[in-house]
Structure 1
Amino acid sequence: MKILGLFRHAKSDWGDPRARDFDRPLNERGRAGAAIMGRHIRDHGVQWNRVLSSPAIRCAETIELACHASGQPVKVNWDRRIYLASSVTLADVLREQDDDPSAILMVGHNPGLEDLIFDLVPDDGTSSLRDAVEEKFPTACYAVLELDIDRWADLRDRCARLVHLTRPRDLDPALGPAF
């Protein structure tokens, strides 16, 4: 069995219309969300053997703030292919992981992360967590999947169970959508 964590970058700033998408930083709500989720990820208790991330500024800031808040620095493996990647590309990145770490945390973007959940977790009507992802996989959301595989190279559709899902607003309602 392998464990896959998916952590979507926190809320980014759209204030500079000249900024490239890749270069957008986090906004104030995003910084708060990254910090609270960093503490939650630490407290959830999975020991991540490898962290893979898009190098986009909003992902880098999300990891930096999450690690700072959790008091647990991590080595990040930056992979440009994760930036705005499709679920197919994300699965390929996972299949290529050598030395078969038991638990990988991937930090990236939607719709790729959300679609990866839909590809890996069967829609059999029994997962309320999968239903929640269908509703929305918001910024700074954290999901954990257990995969029925022995090697990352064996990753295939419908091989996982979604066992954990937390959104920033679950921990602090002020970090939810503004109405």
Structure 2
Amino acid sequence: MKTLHLLRHAKSSQDESGLEDRERGLTARGEQDAPRMGAALADELEPMVIVVSAARRAQLTLEGLCAGWPGLGDLEHRTEGALYTFDGDNLQDWLRTQAGAGDSLFLIGHNPAFTDLINQLVGEKAIDNLPTAGYARLQLDIDDWPKLWPGCGTLERVIRPKEL
């Protein structure tokens, strides 16, 4: 069994004219939600290495998560350009390249890719939308990441910032 943790980046700013999409920052709400989500996850999980999209809003979400989750900031997290995608199929392809990555992966990235990936791995529409700063945990019935297939997952947990 493998565990996949997904956190969509916190609410991003649309008002930063002249910036490329991957350079957008967070809104005030995003800056508040990321540490709150970190605190909530700290109650459920041990700190773990996170693989994060190269987009600025994802990087800032990780910083906020670390602020709310003791011990998380002490780890060396990894930036992965391939996670800057909006396509669930691209994420599946990337996950299949993670042979030997361990029993658990935690990703910070984007929608609609995360919502699509969740539904693909569960094999049905399990979630309408993973909101900004929303978290989802899936249990995957595989013994290595290259064996990932649609329908191999069970959605175990969803946390939405408005529930905190």
Gaps of 5+ in 2: none
Corresponding position of 1:37: 37
Amino acid at match of 1:100: A
Q: TM-score under structure 1 normalisation? A: 0.86
1:90 aligns with 2:83: no
Amino acid at match of 2:114: L
SS at match of 2:50: strand
1:24 aligns with 2:17: no
Corresponding position of 2:143: 150
SS at match of 2:108: strand
Distance between the aligned counterparts of 1:89 and 1:39, measured in 2? Answer: 30
Counterparts in 2 of 1:129-144, with a 5 A limit?
130=126, 133-134=127-128, 136-144=129-137
Q: Which deviates more, 17-26 or 161-170?
A: 17-26
- Please give the per-residue CA displacement for 1:19-69, whole angstroms capped at 9, x wherever unaligned: 111100011100111010011122122553x42111100000000110121
Amino acid at match of 1:167: R
- Please give the per-residue CA displacement for 1:94-148, whole angstroms capped at 9, x wherever unaligned: 1111323111001100000100001000228xxxxx2xx21x2110000000000
Distance 1:140 1:14, change over 3 A: same
Distance between the aligned counterparts of 1:113 and 1:63, measured in 2? Answer: 16
SS at match of 1:44: coil
Corresponding position of 1:54: 53
1:159 aligns with 2:159: no
Give the conservation status (yes or no) of the 8 Å contact 2:100–2:144. no
Corresponding position of 1:70: 69
Distance between the aligned counterparts of 1:6 and 1:68, measured in 2? Answer: 18
Distance between the aligned counterparts of 1:99 and 1:84, measured in 2? Answer: 23
Distance between the aligned counterparts of 1:84 and 1:94, measured in 2? Answer: 13
Distance between the aligned counterparts of 1:45 and 1:164, measured in 2? Answer: 12
Distance between the aligned counterparts of 2:41 and 2:4, measured in 1? Answer: 13
Give the conservation status (yes or no) of the 8 Å contact 1:47–1:103. no
1:107 aligns with 2:108: yes
**Which consecutive aligned stretches of 4+ in structure 1 deviate over 6 angstroms post-superposition?**
none
Corresponding position of 1:123: 124
Amino acid at match of 2:58: C
Amino acid at match of 1:14: Q
Q: Which deviates more, 11-20 or 142-151?
A: 11-20
Amino acid at match of 1:66: L
Q: TM-score under structure 2 normalisation? A: 0.93
Distance between the aligned counterparts of 2:109 and 2:93, measured in 1? Answer: 14
Gaps of 5+ in 1: 125-129, 172-179
How many aligned residue pairs are there? 162
